[in-house]
A and B are shown apart, each in its own frame.
Chain A
Amino acid sequence: MTAENPPVAVSTTATASKGGGGFSWAALFFLAPAALLLLVFLLFPTVYTIALSFNRGRAGEFTEWTGLDNWIRLFTEDPNFLRLGFPPSGALWNNVLWLVFYVSLVVLAGLIIAVMATRVRYEAWIKAIVFLPQAIAATSLAVIWSFVYAPDRNTGLMNAVLGIADIGPVALLGNPSTVNWALIAVGIWGSVGFATVILSAAIKGISSEVLEAARVDGANETQIFWRIIVPMVSLPIAVVAVTLVVNVIKLFDLIFVMTQGGPGTSSRVIAFSMYQDAFRQGQYGYGAAIAVVMVVLLLPVMIFNVRRFRAEAVQQ
């Protein structure tokens, strides 16, 4: 995004092929390996999954055409996937909660930490500490936090601390009204470092003249943050946000390790529902329908991403 070289390289090839209108065996030759891989590992599974979502799919094969049955069941008869009402619930709704709170809070916290850190001498230390969770595998992270949240004061750090103030013990993971928030908090803890590091690099790229000019014009620090820094790093923010959105839609490991979608089904997310229905229950057709929902949710994000890359290429 910030590097100069790759877009330049792209534009040279574009010139070499003189607009790329004609068919070229050489181009086909060079594209074939990549195209073949995409065909086998991307296109075929996608088409297969879409087709399977209209099938009973016993043992993952096309056994019985069921038309829209899976789809109707998914959206109208499966409260574990989506239950409308007030408040709504179900896996799809939980993903919405994650999308709103996890993405916005990670970006906000990352931005604040990045801005604050640039002003102190021990910046490298702060960034290293905040980035540390990124180095931990998601599964280990989930196990660690299961211990932190454990209701037993001898095991659970959180309840040990609360115990000093004579509160609790509280079982955040055992209560459907708190479980999603407890999980989102873990997700945020695990991703803030990523946002911090990228945004901090972007903030460093803002030329000091701009900031000084603003200060000379009498802007206070809050105004500088919202009016100068945030707009100037809006592109990196978008990059971080898109990555986080993709993280949310494919979210599985935290839920699998920490709650198994429970208590009950209150912390299920889409990917967990797919695993549960397809691989544990053997309802492959139904699971395929859930997988297609994930693809459909990811499409706009991908289109946004591709558009942005194109726009950048044009700017060059």
Chain B
Amino acid sequence: MRKFRLVAPFMTAVLVLTACGNGDGGDDGDADVPEGDGEITVTSLWGGTEQEAFEAVLAAFEEESGITATYESQRTEYASFLRNRIQGGNPPDVAIIPGIGTLRSLARDGSLISISELGIAQSDIEGNYAPGILDVGVVDDELYGIMVKLNSKSTIFYSPERFAEMGVEPAETWDDLVALTESIKEAGSTPWALGAQDSWTLTDWFEITYLKMHGTEAYDTLFSPDGDWTDETVTATIDKMLEILNEENIEGGVDGSLATLFVAAIGKVFSTSPSAELYYGGGFVGGIATGADVNPDLAGQEGEAIDWFGFPTIDGNGEGLVTYGGDVMAALVNDSDVAAFMEYLTTADAGQVWAEGGTIISPIVDVDTGVYPTVLIQAEADQVTSAEAVRFDGSDLLPGTDLGAVLQSALRGEDMGPILEEFQTATSTAWENE
């Protein structure tokens, strides 16, 4: 509960007293951006291949600007870690933030530097992104976070080889998907793997199903302060999900899935001894399935041993609608180095370098999809860029209330009426108290 924040007032004083005058993008706005010291620190929760891919971007930035950018990885408890560093008066220069709820709360705490304060005009960078992408990082009409990477959350992973053996095919409609589930059971296998202990896997399920069933307008309202969780669209969506996610269709049953983490669930479909056939999750599933945590032997067999198909339409609705998740970057220190870095990351050059690493989809429109190293990611990038409308992961927009817990109850078959009423109360209180 204690704080040792002595630095902030000094920083503010420095900010007021110092004028800017650097060449690398710090001088093209009307804000007073202090001169940097040639070094910046960037934090995120990536490790492994994701970290390597991002460090390639930092190296390219250093080559172009002469500013040294150091990456610090914090794999777990990221929000707590950021808040502690901020309160300790030692924030990283730039933080890549995975939850919009966290971004909003830090911005309202006064811990973030807005993009305009850095001397970057929103109108200058807007053209680099598909419409709506930048809006995700807006808090109280001010742009704080810029989307740096994203992943489709409308992909269902399977093994084409095993599908061929069973004589089944990917589904295009919900009814097809239900039929596919039945056929897999008839072929003697278990259809679905689910890692419901990581409750966000369920919120992903809910969001895409809701978007496909009820469209963008209802989706936007539900995940805003005006959202009504007792609405019948919510219960209808949950019922729809449970047509597939039930005791008979999930490997290990409902209780088993609730004690399984998502990587373990991916392993059930793609390990060397698979026990299920389908896994719904973000596009990043491909990278995990072919990585060291699951089955590195699959790398290079994309399109044969592992592939995905788009989440199906439901009752003829939802064609071309895609949910996606992503991370935004935000500045915690105001100086010319930080401004230069943020501006660099909005360019197609940076996007291109990053995309080559094969761990992300770049939100920047001018990045050529040909640079993505595997067919899985190329197809994912195509899905997102050619979508009729994309919507950001809704549970990441909520003010910290736990939709995942509600959906875990739904999975267990509990009476949803009182639970949703309670969730509605908690969520509206949380919106008010943000």
Interface contact B87-A59, CB-CB below 8 Å: yes
4 closest cross-chain pairs (CB), A and B: A174-B259, A264-B405, A174-B258, A171-B259
Closest to A286 in B: B433
Cα distance A83–B86 in the bound complex, in angstroms: 34
A residues in contact with B84, CB < 8 Å: 279
Choose from B197, B256, B426, B429 the contact partner of A262 (Cβ within 8 Å).
B197
Q: Contacts A59-B3, A265-B405: A280 and B199 contacting too (C-beta < 8 A)? A: no
Contact A79 B255 (CB under 8 A): no
Q: Across the two chains, which residue of chain B brings its CB closest to A61?
A: B3
Q: How large is the interface on B (under 10, 10 to 19, 20 to 34, 35 or more residues)?
A: 35 or more
Answer yes or no: A269 CB below 8 A from chain B CBs. no
Picked from A56, A79, A151, A280, the residue with its CB within 8 Å of the CB of B260 is A151
Q: Is the CB of A151 within 8 A of B259?
A: yes
Count of residues in A whose CB is under 8 Å from the partner chain: 43
- Residue of A83, A173, A280 most packed against chain B (CB within 10 A): A280
| Complex alpha-carbon distance, A288 and B196, angstroms | 31
Q: Residue A60 contacts which of B2, B196, B257 (CB distance < 8 angstroms)?
A: B2
Report A267 CB to chain B, min CB distance, Å: 11
Complex: A169 Cα to B254 Cα, angstroms? 12
Q: Is A134 an interface residue (CB 8 A)?
A: no
Q: Does B257 lie within 8 Å of A284, measured CB to CB?
A: no
**Which residues from chain A contact B426 at a C-beta distance below 8 Å?**
77-80
Chain B residues with Cβ below 8 Å from A281 are 79, 101, 105, 400
Interface-forming stretch among B38-46, B106-114, B320-328, B387-395?
B106-114
Residues of B within 8 A of A151 (CB): 252, 255-256, 259-260
Asked if A293 lies at the interface with its beta carbon under 8 angstroms from chain B, I say: no
Which of B111, B197, B412 is within 8 Å of A59, CB to CB? B111
CB of B80 within 8 A of chain A?
Answer: yes
Smallest CB gap from B406: residue in A? A264
In this complex, what residue of B is CB-closest to A49?
B1
Chain A residues within an 8 Å CB radius of B258: 171, 174-175, 263
User: Hey, which bits of chain B sit against chain A, CB under 8 A?
Assistant: 1-3, 5, 77, 79-80, 83-84, 86-87, 101-102, 105-106, 108-111, 196-197, 199, 252, 255-260, 264, 400, 402, 404-406, 408-409, 412, 422, 425-426, 429, 433
CA distance A286 to B433 in the complex (A): 10
Q: Are B402 and A264 in contact (CB under 8 A)?
A: yes
CA distance A97 to B83 in the complex (A): 32
Per the bound structure, the CA–CA distance linking A149 and B196 in Å amounts to 16
Q: Complex: how many Å from CA A60 to CA B5?
A: 10
Alpha-carbon distance A171/B109, docked complex (angstroms)? 41
Q: Which residues of A contact B86 (CB under 8 A)?
A: 59
What's the minimum C-beta distance from A161 to chain B, rounded to whole angstroms? 17
Across the interface, name the chain A residue whose C-beta is closest to B275: A152
Partner of A79, one of B2, B87, B106, B422: B422
| CB pair A265 B402 closer than 8 Å | yes
Contacts of B199 in A (CB 8 A): 262-264
Q: List 23 A-B contacts (CB under 8 A).
A: A45-B1, A45-B2, A49-B1, A61-B5, A77-B425, A80-B402, A151-B255, A169-B256, A171-B259, A172-B259, A174-B197, A174-B256, A174-B258, A175-B255, A175-B412, A264-B199, A279-B80, A279-B83, A280-B80, A281-B105, A283-B433, A286-B433, A287-B1
Known: A282-B102, A288-B1. 11 other contacts (CB 8 A): A58-B109, A60-B1, A77-B425, A173-B259, A174-B258, A262-B408, A263-B408, A265-B405, A280-B77, A280-B400, A281-B400
Whether a CB of chain B sits under 8 angstroms from the CB of A170 is: yes
Q: How far is the CB of B18 from chain A (nearest CB, A)?
A: 24
Q: Which of A45, A280, A287, A291 contacts B79 (CB 8 A)?
A: A280
Chain B residue at minimum C-beta to C-beta distance from A70: B433
Nearest B residue to A58 by beta-carbon distance? Answer: B109
Contacts of A160 in B (CB 8 A): none
Chain A residue with the shortest CB-CB distance to B108: A58
- B406 cross-chain contacts in A, Cβ below 8 A: 264
Q: Which residue of A lies closest to B273 (CB)?
A: A154
- In angstroms, Cα B404 to Cα A263, docked, is 9
Q: Report the number of A-B residue pairs with Cβ-Cβ less than 8 Å.
A: 114
Nearest Cβ distance between residue B263 and chain A, in whole angstroms?
Answer: 13
Kindly state the separation between the CA atoms of A215 and B404 in the bound complex, as whole angstroms.
Answer: 62
Complex contacts, B409 vs chain A, CB 8 Å: 264
Query: Do A171 and B256 contact each other (CB < 8 Å), given the known contacts A48-B1, A280-B79?
Result: yes
The answer to whether B402 and A60 touch across the interface, beta carbons within 8 angstroms, is: no
Interface pair A58/B110, CB less than 8 Å apart? yes
CB distance from A264 to the nearest CB of B (A): 3
B385: min CB distance to chain A, Å: 34
How far apart are B398's CB and chain A's nearest CB, in angstroms?
11
Are B405 and A263 interface neighbours, CB within 8 A? yes
Chain A residues with CB under 8 Å of B422's CB are: 79, 83
Q: Which of B2, B259, B422 is most buried by chain A, counting CB atoms within 10 A of its CB?
A: B259
Question: Which residues of B sit under 8 angstroms from A77, Cβ to Cβ?
Answer: 425-426, 429
CA distance A202 to B409 in the complex (A): 48
A171, B260: Cα distance in complex, Å: 9
With known contacts A58-B109, A151-B255, A48–B2 Cβ distance under 8 A: yes
> Bound state CA distance, A309 and B106, in angstroms?
47
Q: How many Å from the CB of A177 to the closest CB on chain B? A: 10
Shortest C-beta distance, B194 to chain A (Å), equals 11
A78 to B409, CA, bound (A): 17
Which A residue's beta carbon lies closest to that of B80?
A: A279
Contact with B along A165-182 (1 / 0, CB 8 A): 000011111111000000
Determine whether the beta carbon of B5 is less than 8 Å from that of A278: no
A73 at the interface (CB under 8 A from B): yes
**Docked complex Cα distance between A275 and B106 (Å):** 17
A52 at the interface (CB under 8 A from B): yes
Within the complex, the shortest CB–CB distance from B103 to chain A, in Å, comes to 11
Contact B1 A291 (CB under 8 A): yes
Cβ–Cβ < 8 Å partners of A265 in chain B: 402, 405
User: In chain B, what residue has the closest Cβ to A60?
Assistant: B3
Q: Does A59 lie within 8 Å of B83, measured CB to CB?
A: yes
- Residues 36 to 77 of chain A near chain B (Cβ within 8 Å): 45, 48-49, 52, 56, 58-61, 73, 77
Nearest CB on B from A315, distance (A)? 39
Are A262 and B405 CB-contacts (below 8 A) given A59-B111, A79-B426, A174-B197? Answer: yes
Bound: A176/B411 CA distance, A: 12
Q: Do the beta carbons of A282 and B1 come within 8 Å of each other?
A: no
In the complex, how many angstroms separate the beta carbon of B78 from the nearest chain A beta carbon?
9
* Chain A residues, Cβ within 8 Å of B2: 45, 48, 60
Q: Does A248 contact B (CB under 8 A)?
A: no
Contacts of A149 in B (CB 8 A): 259
Give Cα A77 to B432, complex, Å: 13
Indicate if A150 sits at the interface (CB-CB under 8 A): yes
